[in-house]
Chains A and B, each alone.
Chain A
Amino acid sequence: MLSGLAAESHIPVVDPAAADGVFSLAWLVIVLPLAGAAILLLGGRRTDRWGHLLGTATSLGSFAIGLAMFIALLGRDSGDRSVGRELFTWIEAGGFKVGMDLLVDPLSILFVLLITGVGSLIHIYSIGYMEHDGRRRRFFGYLNLFIAAMTMLVLAADYLGIFLGWEGVGLASYLLIGFWQHKPTAAAAAKKAFVINRVGDIGMSLAIMLIFVTFGTTAFAGVSAAASGADEATMNVIGLLLLLGACGKSAQVPLQAWLLDAMEGPTPVSALIHAATMVTAGVYLVTRSNFIFENAPIAQTTVVVVAVVTLLWGAVIGCAKDDIKKVLAGSTMSQIGYMMLGAGLGVAGYAFAIFHLITHGFFKANMFLGAGSVMHAMDDDVDMRHYGALQKAVPVTFLTFAMGYLAIIGFPGFSGFWSKDKIIEVAFTENIFVGLCALVGAGVTAFYMTRLMLMTFFTQKRWEPEVHPHESPKVMTVPLMVLAALSVLGGFLLLSNWIVDWLAPVVGHHAHEEPPLPALAMTAIVVLVVAAGVALAWFTIGRTEVPRTAPTDVNVLTRAARADLYGDAINDGLVVNPGRQLVGGLMTFDAAVIDGAVEGQAAGMGGLAGVFRKVQNGFVRSYALSVLVGALLVILALLAVNLG
């Protein structure tokens, strides 16, 4: 259904110019936080006192270099905003050569700014949030490691480079989800995230191998130049495998189950890795591989299907959870679904996917940090049923959170309004059914976010008597304010279509198609649906008494949503249990047949030896007899040979 796009649109080829000036420092964006991580993790307790400051400084340093490169790119013509920085040859084997090359272009620089910018704010916030944690230095070491890996991921000019960063963020994510490893749930969640991500990584690595086999190179430049001439079936397979990788990292159905459990990590981690940056790596991968997906219509359609399923799936889960972080996690899944949808819609949608990714990075990081601030106030209680009427107790958190809330539901004028509206509009233009699903998703989003807002900051006071909510220190609230401002103003990126033109050299430019309805009417419909969602939440939650414990006599849908729509049960039924049975069967086979054969042979030998050792009876004369018999046999044999 979407295959028509490729023909109409020009898909740009990656052809970077040599780096000069500030671009030759591009490697520092990665190396600064990497050095920070190395110092903090290898330096041990010596660095305890100033470790958090160093971690924050390296992240800010990366941001400064990113900003300088961004400004330098702004000064160039849109045609030569792609700069390659070749560092060294990484792998050389016969004709196969992989350079450690970086690619600074309009797409990667936006990611660098988002990662290092939001990352720095979260570093600052964590100084306050982790103040009473004895392992704060280690936490900052891991955060730095994450920043290094994530910038590697987005700056790489080669699929193998992406893979390096891809695994690096996976490691950082694992370490940070399980940061409080003394809690068995946290350790299990980290393991789950790691294992599910391995499934996605299989897809990713197979895709890279197939790219190498097909094109003889894994560099974007080579692949994008040859992509349009490649066999469509091969491209579809590559596209689907890349999508599998993206699904793992971005928590898309069917590899979504790890994200909700990942909330076991400290809240700044949830904000940085599991909302703003790492989980959007899948969207980056699809957008960066536009030259593949534009030539792979089946894979592209699959991206849309996965995206639509996920955006509804996550939204439904968000409606039923009482854990504030899990609501936000469901919401993250759903919003990444929107981004994937945008990316799956092809040239018309890439820019909006990235736009939504950036605005989402702002407002979701804002809300996660706000949730952390609320938890801070409530003695680390995450159950919204124990909150209520907090707007007076934590006014700054409330106000900043409200900005994020208005942004995510798409209140007119806020950043989320612009970005989500655009994706829904493009979805309607491509396919009415996809558009309707996206529209319903927007309504559900409004419902669960309003529910969260009401249960946390309004309605009745339901705190434990010994809890005394208090506002967080400045070091935590200032990042919240910055992110709140960005949540409000993020929409300015769309001013006079700036982001579309900015990204056009990377993702191509799409001739504007008329949507089935005028844009203004579309916007009005979206706003109406959102208003309906808000109103529904108001009537079901805002006007009633919220019970302190979750009611159990609920309908089937709520029960399903509370159980993450049985995501774990499906995984268990389809993969885990058959896998266990297979392994059990193999172990039985191993014990019965293979070990049985070996041990049986050994036992047979033992038995035979038991019979023969009786010959060793200690009587010299019987030995002499056997010597004689042996000698006679030898003589007989010789005679038989010589005479016969």
Chain B
Amino acid sequence: MSTEPYIILSALLFTIGCVGVLVRRNAIVVFMCVELMLNASNLALVTFAKANGNLDGQIAAFFVMVVAAAEVVVGLAIIMTIFRTRRSASVDDASLLKY
């Protein structure tokens, strides 16, 4: 099987996620974009695992999923808290920690 379409898809998804993180202000959307990047990399991992005929990439993908799940728990909790106190989910509003 050819890996090329999968890798191109993965790169596309990663780029979309990346641009989303950079340009969107809503914290939830930024968060979804981060997930998108993670899953893009998962796709690449699984593709290479299939191409190489071993399970290394698949195991790594599982790790990424587990870490992403944990991250979602913590990240959403933070976003919730910020929204409660500031009545806004914009990442640009939470800019107190600076020089």
Residue A544 interfacial (CB < 8 Å):
no
Contact yes or no, A618 B18, CB < 8 A: no
Residues in B whose Cβ lies below 8 Å from that of A543: none
The reply to whether A617 and B94 contact each other, CB–CB distance below 8 Å, is no
Q: How far does the Cβ of B35 sit from chain A's closest Cβ, in whole Å?
A: 15
Interface 9-mer from A487-495, A503-511, A621-629: A621-629
Q: How far is the CA of A613 from the CA of B18 in the complex (A)?
A: 25
Using Cβ atoms and an 8 Å threshold, which residues of chain B touch A619?
A: 91-92, 95
Looking across the interface, which residue of chain A has its beta carbon closest to that of B21?
A624
- In whole angstroms, what is the CA distance A625 to B92 when docked? 14
Please measure, in the bound complex, the distance between the C-alpha atom of A616 and the C-alpha atom of B18, giving whole angstroms. Answer: 21
Q: Which residues of A contact B25 (CB under 8 A)?
A: 621
Report whether over half of chain A's contact residues are helix, strand or loop; otherwise say mixed. Answer: helix
Q: Is the CB of B99 within 8 A of A616?
A: yes
Interface size on B, as a range, is 10 to 19
A521 in contact (CB, < 8 A)? no
Expressed in whole angstroms, the minimum distance between the Cβ of B8 and any Cβ of chain A is 18
- Residue A639 lies at the interface, judged by CB distance under 8 Å to chain B: no
A621 to B99, CA, bound (A): 16
Pairwise interchain contact A618-B95, C-beta atoms closer than 8 A = yes
Which one of B92, B96, B97, B98 contacts A621 once the chains associate, using CB atoms below 8 Å? B92
Residues of B54-99 at the interface with A, using a CB-CB cut-off of 8 Å, are: 91-92, 94-99
Q: Which of B22, B94, B98 contacts A616 (CB 8 A)?
A: B98
Asked if B91 contacts A617 (CB within 8 A), the reply is: no
Interface string of B14-40 (1 = CB under 8 A from A): 000010011101000010000000000
CA distance A619 to B30 in the complex (A): 13
Chief secondary structure at chain B's binding surface: loop
Distance in Å: Cβ of A84 to nearest Cβ of chain B: 80
Residue of B nearest to A624 (CB): B21
Bound CA span A614–B99, Å: 7
Inter-subunit contact A617/B22 (CB<8 Å): no
Q: Closest B residue to A627 by CB, please name it.
A: B21
A: number of interface residues (CB 8 Å): 11
**Shortest distance between the CB of B36 and any CB in chain A (Å):** 14
Task: State whether B99 touches A620 (Cβ < 8 A).
Answer: no
Query: Is A625 a contact partner of B95 (Cβ separation < 8 A)?
Result: no
| Inter-subunit contact A621/B91 (CB<8 Å) | yes
A613, A614, A618, A625: which contacts B22 (Cβ < 8 A)?
Answer: A625
Nearest residue, chain B, Cβ from A615 = B99
**Shortest CB–CB separation between residue A639 and chain B, in angstroms?**
15
Complex Cα–Cα for A620 and B25 (A): 10
Contacts of B94 in A (CB 8 A): 620
Interface pair B99/A617, CB less than 8 Å apart: yes
- A535 to nearest B CB, angstroms? 95
How far does the Cβ of A173 sit from chain B's closest Cβ, in whole Å?
65
Residue of A with least CB distance to B33 = A624
> Residues of B contacting A613 with CB < 8 Å?
99
What's the Cα separation between A152 and B17 when bound, in Å? 93
Looking across the interface, which residue of chain B has its beta carbon closest to that of A620?
B91
A607 to B: closest C-beta gap in Å: 15
- Indicate with 1 or 0, residue by residue over A623-642, a CB within 8 angstroms of chain B CB atoms: 01100100000000000000
Chain B positions within 8 Å of A621 at CB level: 21-23, 25, 30, 91-92
Please state if A617 and B95 are interface contacts (CB–CB under 8 Å): yes
Residues of B within 8 A of A616 (CB): 98-99
A581-629, CB < 8 A from B: 613-614, 616-621, 624-625, 628
Q: Residue of A at shortest CB range from B95?
A: A618
Is the beta-carbon distance between A628 and B18 smaller than 8 angstroms? yes
Residues of A near B22 (CB, < 8 A) are 621, 624-625, 628
Within 8 A of B (CB), among A17-71: none
Knowing A625-B22, A628-B18 touch, does A618 contact B91 (C-beta < 8 A)?
no
* CA gap between A614 and B25 in the complex, in Å: 21
Q: In the complex the two chains form, is A617's CB within 8 Å of B18's CB?
A: no
- Residue A618 contacts which of B21, B30, B97 (CB distance < 8 angstroms)? B97
* Nearest Cβ on chain B to A470's Cβ, whole angstroms: 86
Question: Could you tell me the distance between the alpha carbons of A417 and B45 in the complex, rounded to whole angstroms?
Answer: 117
Residues of chain A contacted by B98 (CB below 8 angstroms): 616-618
B58 to chain A, nearest CB (A): 24
Cα A619 to Cα B97 in complex, Å, equals: 9
**B18 contacts across to A, CB distance below 8 A:** 628
Residue of A nearest to B19 (CB): A628
Closest residue of chain A to B98 (Cβ to Cβ) is A618
5 contacts between A and B (CB under 8 A): A613-B99, A616-B99, A618-B99, A620-B92, A621-B22
Contacts A617-B95, A618-B99, A619-B92 aside, 14 further interface pairs with beta carbons under 8 A come to A613-B99, A616-B98, A617-B99, A619-B91, A619-B95, A620-B30, A620-B91, A620-B94, A620-B95, A621-B21, A621-B23, A621-B30, A621-B92, A628-B22
